């Protein structure tokens, strides 16, 4: 479908997209698990090049290679000052209304507004985005790798390094071996975790999980909890990460955390869903539950950090990439994702 796109206004940038990751969060718009103004152009995990600038833009220039940050921040509000830029008060309201920062859209069809997703809408050849969403990365980073840094890597690796702060020798269980789960495994391996257990319903994901650092792979079933305990001296893991957003997996992950350990929820659950976590277990066993939104990241810092770790061979991000698709194949890409295909698909322009 062709849409009209207005030129960038003040403090906005026009990006010519080059690569966009196939992420489950975009599919949530279609299923209604994420409630959003419609019609909307999805896409939030992207890499591209600066094609044009609105007035007063100072962060980037034409031709720069950009990874898009779907949680831009002002740097001065309450949450930014508390080092939680992903929760920025200045941007959240307009973003979830489907607009840019002046409260309007740059997208339309037959003169009727079409809404933006995460102020990006990068499943499109061009995207007008806030200047604050643009983070310049080294030209030698492959575009596909840049796209994955924009969401899956920052969410997964960040949940390990920023939210949980996993240390060398810790034990980790990761529920889900999609893009975020695989990135979590990568982050745990980089952090020096001794035992990294990957749990998924698709056996074919075992090889990629182990390629990225998992020491063990378990098929998710009624015996998963017992198997995780058998791998951890019947104690449970120091950290469990639920990277899917399913309530039953969140509850299972809570069961395998050792007393005094931590459960990290990084998967996006359907809006309105509820998870039954035992208050008695939390109190009696002193377990901790943490939410991790975008890996508790500071994108301005972490995008560059992960890019350099990739270049240094410490984060094998490219090994996550399973298949490249054209934009015309976008529905096939999401069908492959839902069928359990291992790794992360990428839309190439």
**Catalytic residue numbers?**
23, 25, 28, 44, 151
Q: Are 228 and 255 in contact (CB under 8 A)?
A: no
| Structure token pair of residue 146 | 């840049």
Burial classification of residue 101, based on how many CB atoms lie within 10 Å of its CB (0-12 exposed, 13-18 middle, 19 or more buried)? buried
Q: Collapse the DSSP code of 62 into the 3-class scheme (helix H, G, I; strand E, B; otherwise coil) and give the result.
A: coil
Torsion region of 44: left, alpha or beta (phi above 0 gives left; psi -120 to 50 gives alpha): alpha
What sections of the chain are H helices per DSSP? 24-31, 78-81, 89-96, 143-148, 154-158, 179-191, 206-211, 224-230, 247-256, 279-284, 299-311, 330-338
Burial classification of residue 237, based on how many CB atoms lie within 10 Å of its CB (0-12 exposed, 13-18 middle, 19 or more buried)? buried
Backbone angles phi, psi at 35, to 5 degrees: -85, 125
Closest of 167, 198, 179, 159 to residue 297, by C-alpha: 159
For the four alpha carbons of 302, 245, 46 and 198, in that order, the dihedral sign comes to: positive
DSSP state, 59? Answer: S
Q: Which residue has tokens 């770790």?
A: 309
The sheet with strand 237-242 has its strands ordered as 216-219, 195-200, 171-175, 237-242, 257-265, 288-291
């Amino acid at each position: 479908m062709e849409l009209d796109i207005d030129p960038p206004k003040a403090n906005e940038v026009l990006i010519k997209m080059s690569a966009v990751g196939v992420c489950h969060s975009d599919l949530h718009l279609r299923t209604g698990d994420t409630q959003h103004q419609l019609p909307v152009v999805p896409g939030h995990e992207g890499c591209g090049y600066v094609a044009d600038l609105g007035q007063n833009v100072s962060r980037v220039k034409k031709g720069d290679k950009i990874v898009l940050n779907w949680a831009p921040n002002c740097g001065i509000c309450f949450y930014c000052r508390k080092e939680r830029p992903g929760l920025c008060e200045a941007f959240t309201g307009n973003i979830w209304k489907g607009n840019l920062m002046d409260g309007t859209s740059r997208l339309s069809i037959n003169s009727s507004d079409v809404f933006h997703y995460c102020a990006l809408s990068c499943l499109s050849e061009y995207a007008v985005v806030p200047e604050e969403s643009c983070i310049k990365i080294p030209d030698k980073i492959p575009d596909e790798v840049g796209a994955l840094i924009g969401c899956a890597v920052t969410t997964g690796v960040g949940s390990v390094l920023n939210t949980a702060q996993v240390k060398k020798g810790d034990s980790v269980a990761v529920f889900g071996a999609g893009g975020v789960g695989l990135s979590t495994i990568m982050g745990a391996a980089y952090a020096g975790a001794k035992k990294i257990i990957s749990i998924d319903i698709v056996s074919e994901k075992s090889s990629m999980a182990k390629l990225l650092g998992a020491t063990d792979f378990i098929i998710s079933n009624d015996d998963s909890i017992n198997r995780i305990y058998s791998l951890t001296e019947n104690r449970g893991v120091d950290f469990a990460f639920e990277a899917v957003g399913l309530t039953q997996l969140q509850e299972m992950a809570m069961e395998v955390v050792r007393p005094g350990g931590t459960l990290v929820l990084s998967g996006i659950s359907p809006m309105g869903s509820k998870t039954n976590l035992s208050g008695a277990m939390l109190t009696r066993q002193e377990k901790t539950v943490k939410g991790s939104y975008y890996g508790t990241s500071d994108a301005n810092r972490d995008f560059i950090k992960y890019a350099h770790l990739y270049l240094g061979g410490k984060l094998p991000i490219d090994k996550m990439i399973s298949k490249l698709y054209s934009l015309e194949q976008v529905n096939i890409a999401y069908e492959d994702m839902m069928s359990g295909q291992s790794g992360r698909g990428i839309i190439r322009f």
